[in-house]
Amino acid sequence: GEVSGPDVDTTIKEQFDSSFVAGARFGAWFLESSTHGGWIGFGIDLAYYKLLPETIDMEIVVVPIVATLMFRYPGKYFQPYLGAGFGLFIGDADGDLSDFGLTSNFDSISVDLGWGLRAGFAFPLHKRAALFCEYRLDGFHQEHSDDHFWNEDTFEYDAMVHYGLAGISLRF
Helices then strands, each counted (H, E), the chain: 0, 10
Burial zone of 150 (CB within 10 Å; 0-12 exposed, 13-18 middle, 19+ buried): exposed
Residue 68 near residue 27 (C-beta atoms within 8 A): yes
Other residues' Cβ atoms within 10 Å of the Cβ of residue 84:
15
Task: Over range 98-119, report the average pLDDT.
Answer: 87
- What is residue 35's predicted lDDT score, i.e. its pLDDT? 60
What's the pLDDT tens digit per position in 119-145? Answer: 999 999 988 899 999 999 999 999 888
pTM of the predicted model as reported, rounded to 2 decimal places: 0.86
What's the pLDDT tens digit per position in 20-75? Answer: 899 999 998 887 765 667 889 999 999 999 999 887 888 999 999 999 999 999 88
- What is residue 18's predicted lDDT score, i.e. its pLDDT? 79
